[in-house]
Amino acid sequence: MYSLTWHESELDRLAEFYVSIDVPSRVRLANAVEALNKRLKSNPMDEGESRSNGYRFTFIPFFSVAFRVNESKKIVDVTSLRRFGK
C-alpha cells in the first residue's frame, strides 16, 4: 500500500471545477477521483504512462493527472491536474 498526497493547489483546482459543473458531472468526477485514488494507493506503477524521474501521467473524466511515484518510500504525489476534454 502506498501513501497518497495531492498538492493543495491541485485540490483547489479540482474543487473549483467541481462546484462549476452540473450534478451528474459532479457524480462522474467524484467517482473517477475516488477510483483513481484507490488505484494509486494500491498499485500506482500500473496506472497511466511512465515519464522520466518517477513521474506518470493518466486521465480521468475532465482532467489529465500527473503524479510522481517514490517506490522506495511507497509514496505517490499528485503534482498536476489539467483540464482535458469536455
pLDDT in tens, 18-77: 999 999 999 999 999 999 999 999 999 999 999 988 899 999 999 999 999 999 999 999
pTM of this structure: 0.92
pLDDT (tens digit per residue) in 6-16: 999 999 999 99
Structural domains in the chain (count): 1
User: Measuring CA to CA, which residue among 62, 67, 65 is closest to residue 85?
Assistant: 62
Residue 83, φ and ψ in degrees, nearest 5: -60, 135
**C-alpha cell read off for 77:** 504525489
User: Above 90 in pLDDT, residue 85?
Assistant: no
Residue-number span of the structural domain to which 64 is assigned: 3-83
Predicted confidence at residue 38, as pLDDT, reads 98
Q: Strand, helix or coil at 1?
A: coil
Domain of 41, CATH number, reads: 3.30.2310.20
Bridge partners of 69? 76
Indicate if the pLDDT at residue 86 is higher than 80. no
